[in-house]
């Protein structure tokens, strides 16, 4: 029986990995994947706590998050494809139109 604290630790590790990946990578696609990792680290934390407290609402929430994440991933990927078509690049350093 693996203690729920271990799941929590894994979730934290995944989250930090996601943050690092987001900051070191320079193309949108990888950064998007890093965001997904952080998201799923959050899911894992929900499950760990649900297991730890012996309650089902955390698991339920995870199901919702997965559903929404699916939709979000579709939109996010579509945006990336469109950005690439327009600009022929997805390097975030080249995309700085919002500079004031």
Question: What dihedral angle (degrees, nearest 10) is formed by the CA atoms of 49, 50, 51, 52?
Answer: 40
- Distance from C-alpha of 42 to C-alpha of 16, rounded to nearest angstrom: 11
Residues 6+ apart with CB under 8 A from 89: 95
- State which residue, 34 or 44, has the beta carbon closest to other proteins: 34
Residue 43 makes contact with other proteins by CB under 8 A: no
Among the listed residues 31, 39, 46, 90, the single contact to other proteins using CB under 8 A: 31
Residue 99 makes contact with other proteins by CB under 8 A: yes
Residues that bind other proteins (CB under 8 A): 19, 22-23, 31, 92-93, 95-100
């Amino acid at each position: 029986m693996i203690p729920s604290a271990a799941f929590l630790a894994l979730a934290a590790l995944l989250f930090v990995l996601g943050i690092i990946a987001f900051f070191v990578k320079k193309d949108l696609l990888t950064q998007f994947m890093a965001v997904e990792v952080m998201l799923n680290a959050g899911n894992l934390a929900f499950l760990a706590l649900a297991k730890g407290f012996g309650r089902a609402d955390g698991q339920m929430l995870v199901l919702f998050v997965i559903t929404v994440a699916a939709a979000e991933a579709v939109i996010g990927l579509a945006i990336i494809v469109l950005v690439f078509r327009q600009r022929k690049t997805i390097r975030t350093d080249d995309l700085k139109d919002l500079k004031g």
